[in-house]
Structure 1
Amino acid sequence: MDRKKFIRNSLAGLSAIVALPAAITACSREADTINPENPTGTDTDACALSPRETEGPYPIKTPAQLVRENIVADRTGVALLMTITVQDQSNACAPLAGVLVDVWHCDKDGNYSQYSGYTNVSFLRGRQTTDTNGQASFISIFPGWYRGRAPHIHVEVLDADERSLMVSQIAFPVDVYTEVYSSEGYNGAPDTSNTQDGIFSDSLDGNMADAVTGNVTDGYTLTKTLVV
């Protein structure tokens, strides 16, 4: 989907996001914060499979009911627009159209919907189908953190018949999450860094977002390519 059209069609119900108008403006201008661990935003290991990771204790219970671009619901935090590109390793890493992308992550306080005290709500969870470019986009907020884990986003790719092709997790550059967690509403520095995280310890380069651009005031955009 065209990015401008995607944003325009996703405005309803986004008043809870901090500085959303500025975040939308930021999407259309040159990036000002690049992932220092991959400054070019390119895949340094061409067509390598993305790391397979655990879905964790809080997977989506009802993914077919959560087909939506805006996954914010009633949560507040720094705006985040994420675009995930899915590529097919068996076809020279060509874009993989028509597959399902499920994402889920915690809110700024480290809470997941559909579990514990949030069993009747489904914030920060969603599903999209990849377009002809193999891309699916979601409007969200920057996730917080919880004890024992570095900041992360969960993602699963499934075929059109909902058979899982891969489950993975996306990590954030330290300088980016440090800036976000120093802002109002977040809980300060996480107790576990990327290199200390048990999930990322042997696969951090493959888990790292390709690029995270923006700032706390304007919001951020995240891009990540997953090879299945």
Structure 2
Amino acid sequence: MDRKDFLKKGLGSLAIMPLFAACKETDVDPTDTSGSTGTDSGTGTSTGSCTTTASETEGPFPTKNPSSLVTNDITSDRAGTKLTVKITIQNKNNSCAALANAFVDIWHCDAAGNYSEYGGTGMQSTNYTNVHFLRGRQTTDSSGVVNFTTIYPGWYSGRAVHIHVHVYNSSGKSLLVTQIAFPEDVSKVVFAQGVYATHGQADTTNARDNVFGDGVTTEMSTVTGSPSAGYALTHTIVVNG
């Protein structure tokens, strides 16, 4: 099965994917859904002005052992335009106050649209099963903030540009699986230069994306900067903590 087929068939495809090897006792299972189903939904739940960020699928390339990837700079050897990522986690159950000591995992594809930890199959032909680029974990500070250094994500057929995020509380309970969307005008500038130019412009807009197509109100990031200086992404995620 290739990625397009997976995206068309949705979460039902997960049933045929092999189970991951058991994690160590100290690991947090990236597929733990005790606090979030991880199903596709473009709209969050709202209480007053405090709106829970939409839940999305984490497949087909979730991080297999996130607790082993505690790092701020997740770039590894990947070439691309520098991107700093600042994510703020808020707790809807506490009037959207900052959620401290939460685990935040992020992962995304490289400039050519490939993910680490996977490959050599119809889903992704390039084999990157033994490397872990563009994946990392941080713990929120007292302001609910985590920061990462990475590259601007590339794209692959059938999906708009995105970053995956999985948020857990301090006890390791899954609170939310979601994705971060990107402004298309910024992506067009990035994909016209450097290592992105060979791959070209993304073939799927946010509106036509099967994950974001029902709206990106709670998932759209703010991205500022330039290809030469790099970009800065800021985004707030609201969970039911």
**Alpha-carbon offset, residue 174 of structure 1:** 0.9
% identity of equivalent residues: 51
The residue aligned with 2:166 is 156
RMSD of Structure 2 on Structure 1 (CA): 0.9
Q: Is the 8 A contact 2:207 2:215 kept in 1?
A: no
Could you list the runs of 5+ residues in structure 2 that have no partner in the other structure? 1-47, 120-126
Distance (whole Å) between structure 1 residues aligned to residue 107 and residue 215 of structure 2: 20
The residue aligned with 2:38 is none
**Alpha-carbon offset, residue 172 of structure 1:** 0.5
Distance (whole Å) between structure 2 residues aligned to residue 220 and residue 132 of structure 1: 25
Determine helix, strand or coil for the equivalent of 1:177.
helix
- Higher RCO structure, 1 or 2 (CA under 8 Å, sep 6+): 1
Determine helix, strand or coil for the equivalent of 1:188.
coil
**Residue in structure 1 matching 2:114, options 103, 111, 116:** 111
Whether 1:217 aligns to 2:228 is yes
Determine helix, strand or coil for the equivalent of 1:64.
helix
The residue aligned with 2:218 is 206
Distance (whole Å) between structure 2 residues aligned to residue 139 and residue 156 of structure 1: 17
Distance (whole Å) between structure 2 residues aligned to residue 160 and residue 95 of structure 1: 13
The residue aligned with 1:174 is 184
Distance (whole Å) between structure 2 residues aligned to residue 73 and residue 172 of structure 1: 22
Measured against aligned partners, the alpha-carbon deviations of 1:83-141 in whole angstroms (never above 9, x if no partner) come to 00000001000000000000000000000000010010000000000000000000000
**Alpha-carbon offset, residue 160 of structure 1:** 1.6
Whether 1:133 aligns to 2:143 is yes
What TM-score, normalized by structure 1, do the two folds share? 0.79
Distance (whole Å) between structure 2 residues aligned to residue 146 and residue 168 of structure 1: 18
Could you list the runs of 5+ residues in structure 1 that have no partner in the other structure? 1-44
Measured against aligned partners, the alpha-carbon deviations of 1:201-222 in whole angstroms (never above 9, x if no partner) come to 113121111x101010000000
**Residue in structure 1 matching 2:85, options 63, 66, 82:** 82
Whether 1:51 aligns to 2:71 is no
Determine helix, strand or coil for the equivalent of 2:218.
helix
Amino acid at match of 1:225: T
Equivalent residue pairs, number: 183
Measured against aligned partners, the alpha-carbon deviations of 1:11-70 in whole angstroms (never above 9, x if no partner) come to xxxxxxxxxxxxxxxxxxxxxxxxxxxxxxxxxx83100000000200000101000000
Written as runs of structure 1 = structure 2, the 5 A alignment for 1:20-59 is 46-59=49-62
What TM-score, normalized by structure 2, do the two folds share? 0.75
The residue aligned with 1:184 is 194
